[in-house]
Amino acid sequence: MTLAQILLFAEGDADGVSGLTLELATKARTLADTVTAFAPAHGETMAAELGAHGVSTVYALEGLGDGLVGVHAAAALAGHIEATSPDAVFFGQTTDGRDTAARLAVLADRPVSTNNVGAEIVDGGLVTEEPIFGGTQNIFTAYRAPAPALAMFRPKSFEAEPSGGGAAAVESVAAVDPGEAGRATVTGRHAEERSGPQLDDAAVVVSGGRGLGQPEAYSMVDELAGLLGAASGASRAIVDAGWVPYAKQVGQTGKVVKPSVYIACGISGATQHLVGMKGSKNIVAINKDPEAPIFGVADLGIVGDVHKVMPALIEALKSR
Amino acid sequence: MKVVVCVKQIPDPAIPGELVPETGTLNRDDKLILDESDSYGVEMALQLAEAAGGGQVSLVSMAPRSETSGLRTALAMGADDAVLISDDALAGSDALGTAKVLGAAIAELEADLVLAGVESSDGYTGTVPEMIAGVMGLPSITFAKQIEIADGVASVQRQTEAGYDQVECALPAVVSVTAGVVEPRYPSFKGIMAAKKKPVDSKDLAALGIDAAAVGVAGARQETVEVTDAPEREAGEIITDEGDAHANIVEFLTELKVI
């Protein structure tokens, strides 16, 4: 049994649709006869790729300008869901996805199901799956408020696959003035420099944590990553401490990664971190505390000092 | 300047959590403590009030059994007073129910700025601050990693997937702050003693004029249908480094054809 229509909150930029949105499109088309998308920006640009993943129509918001996405997208979405009656609205668990879903929840007076990694249709209603207690248990929740069900999903919960469909139709959606709530404006956008393999899609990831001892030691992570063609990541502890930018954070509040090999250096394995990386195919951990939780998920665990093991490993790789 | 900080009192994260079987919600029967995520909001509020040359920092919390231990921690850091909403009908409230209650309580305080952590450490939906703004009809800036206030305008660096956006907003507004943006101060002995005498205004739902049906388990309108154990990863090989463990890593990576 499927739903009639699922509406996606579609995110992307001038370069294309975000991976997370394509993952949600792929899942949504197994749950509903029709998948549509609401794009707060770049709707026209994304139509071909969204169509190729099963989306029939992209509703493109006009005139967002320098306003914040959440409040403006929600104001327009409230009217849009009234007019088009989707059975569910799917959001990615992103900064703008969270803002928009939260604002819409207030406007439409319905709950938001958050942090999901799975979804199914049971007796005509949406049931979502959320990992709890650091991913040791999964809780399945049925949405009992009137349609549309609002649900948010974590990255990499589903695999994106093209459907072979043609470009989606594009229809404009007029902006709706959110009043005083919409008065915040974006006056500048700053992107972190992105070079080399990216955390999201790298086959190998090397991450560092507090066990590195000092910010300078993170250079060992970068060097090892360079030798392996890997992306470099970090635990929340050293991002909070300001050693590396947030863009490198792996975990609950950072990026979810599922590489072929994940190498954790000086990371104890707090729940916050494990949630973001334990889907990796193979895990190597180096930590001096034999009781560290990271060893509970490691395929190869080295109990030792990162300041001895990493330089030796780097030398060995260089001399090959 | 008047700053209101939302603080959540949560079960000690060091103790393994459990669910209430009937509702599938988190068991909050034991003592609750200040969520570390909210200590950043409290610290930010204190610093902004100091930078403004003085101001009032008020806390707002919703908790079962009139729990105040987490509030006392934040008062000991330097907050001036607190409002605590406690009511049996609130058990099992979801993010939206929580925001309706906090929004109604904050509306009575006439704040210039409302601060909150980005997400709690136990529920981590990351939606409550934006919902509070929605309930109150205020602008909101989420995921703030830096806040400056001048001439009634907040200038905020808002973290994004790509980097950060610079956002400007005339007050009043709701701002959620990321962990690590400031270094939360430790309460001094003097602060701890002073906190015991600071006013905590306790309210129930009726005092806020909120219908009990709009909050709690009934208001959440979601039903736990099943809880399952996630498959565990099989334990791997653990080696203690005797000076040559790097060779095991090289061998492992070679087997996987990474090198």
Confirm whether B251 is domain-assigned.
no
- What pLDDT score does A133 carry? 87
Q: Which domain holds residue B196?
A: 2-220
Is there a shared CATH topology between the A3-182 domain and the A204-318 domain? yes
- What pLDDT score does B17 carry? 87
Confirm whether B239 is domain-assigned.
no
Unique residue bearing structure tokens 């990541």: A233
Cβ contact, residue pair A94, B168, below 8 Å: no
Cβ contact, residue pair A260, B235, below 8 Å: no
Diameter of chain B by CA atoms?
A: 68
Mean pLDDT for B64-73 is: 95
CB A6 within 8 A of CB A28: yes
pLDDT band at A272 (very low <50, low <70, confident <90, very high): confident
Closest residue in B to A66 (Cα) is B167
Cβ contact, residue pair A105, B127, below 8 Å: yes
CB B200 within 8 A of CB B68: yes
CATH number belonging to the domain at A3-182, selected among 1.10.10.10, 3.40.120.10, 3.40.50.620, 3.40.640.10: 3.40.50.620
The answer to whether residue A135 neighbours chain B at the CB level (below 8 Å) is yes
Q: In chain A, which among 169-208 make CB contacts under 8 A with chain B? A: 179-192, 203-204
Q: In chain B, which among 93-112 make CB contacts under 8 A with chain A? A: 94-96, 99
Confirm whether B228 is domain-assigned.
no
Mean pLDDT for A189-205 is: 87
Confirm whether B237 is domain-assigned.
no
What pairing do the DSSP bridges indicate for beta strands B140-150 and B153-159? antiparallel
Sequence-distant (≥ 6) Cβ neighbours of residue A116 within 8 angstroms: A128, A129, A130, A151, A152, A153, A154, A157
Beta-bridge partners for A185: A67, B168
Mean pLDDT for B16-41 is: 90
- What pLDDT score does B181 carry? 86
Distances (CA, A) of A162 to A2, A14, A47, A54, A106: 20, 20, 13, 7, 34
- CATH number for the domain including B108? 3.40.50.620
Cβ contact, residue pair B246, A181, below 8 Å: no
Contacts of B146 in chain A (CB under 8 A): none
pLDDT band at B13 (very low <50, low <70, confident <90, very high): confident
pLDDT band at B23 (very low <50, low <70, confident <90, very high): confident
**B145 has a pLDDT exceeding 80:** yes
The answer to whether residue A4 neighbours chain B at the CB level (below 8 Å) is no
- What pLDDT score does B15 carry? 84
Rounded mean pLDDT of chain A?
95
Q: How far is CA A202 from the centre of its chain?
A: 15
Nearest by CB to A188, from B128, B165, B222: name it. B165
Domain count of the fold of chain B: 1
- What pLDDT score does A8 carry? 98
Query: A216-269 pLDDT, tens per residue?
Result: 999 999 999 999 999 999 999 999 898 998 889 999 888 999 999 999 999 999
- What pLDDT score does A201 carry? 86
Main-chain dihedrals φ then ψ at residue A133, nearest 5 degrees? 50, 55
Cβ contact, residue pair A95, B247, below 8 Å: no
pLDDT band at A192 (very low <50, low <70, confident <90, very high): confident
* DSSP structure string for chain B: -EEEEE--EEE-TTSPP-B-TTT-PBP--S-EEE-HHHHHHHHHHHHHHHHTT--EEEEEEE-GGG--HHHHHHHHHT--EEEEE--GGGTT--HHHHHHHHHHHHHTT--SEEEEESS-SSS--S-HHHHHHHHHT--EEEEEEEEEEETTEEEEEEE-SSEEEEEEEESSEEEEE-TTSS-PPPPPHHHHHHHTTS-EEEE-HHHHT--GGGSHHHHH-EEEEEEEEPPPPPP-EEEE-SS-HHHHHHHHHHHTT--
Instruction: Give A195→chain B minimum CA distance, Å.
Output: 13
Cβ contact, residue pair A113, B222, below 8 Å: yes
Predicted-complex ipTM score: 0.94
Contacts of B229 in chain A (CB under 8 A): 136-138
**A44 has a pLDDT exceeding 80:** yes
- What pLDDT score does B21 carry? 85
Query: A56-85 pLDDT, tens per residue?
Result: 999 999 989 999 999 999 999 999 999 999
- What pLDDT score does A200 carry? 85
- What pLDDT score does B35 carry? 95
Query: B101-127 pLDDT, tens per residue?
Result: 999 999 999 999 999 999 998 889 999
pLDDT band at B24 (very low <50, low <70, confident <90, very high): confident
Query: B154-184 pLDDT, tens per residue?
Result: 999 999 888 899 999 999 999 999 988 899 9
**A195 has a pLDDT exceeding 80:** no
CB-defined contacts A:B, below 8 A: 255
Closest residue in A to B103 (Cα) is A106
CB B251 within 8 A of CB A299: no
Give the homologous superfamily in CATH for domain A204-318.
Answer: TPP-binding domain (3.40.50.1220)
**A193 has a pLDDT exceeding 80:** no
**B44 has a pLDDT exceeding 80:** yes
CB B160 within 8 A of CB A95: yes
The answer to whether residue B235 neighbours chain A at the CB level (below 8 Å) is yes
Query: B74-87 pLDDT, tens per residue?
Result: 999 999 999 999 99
**A194 has a pLDDT exceeding 80:** no
Closest residue in A to B141 (Cα) is A184
Confirm whether B149 is domain-assigned.
yes
- What pLDDT score does A252 carry? 84
Residues B244 and A315: their CA atoms lie apart, in Å, by: 12
What global pTM score does this model have? 0.94
Q: What amino acid occupies position A281?
A: K
- What pLDDT score does B64 carry? 95
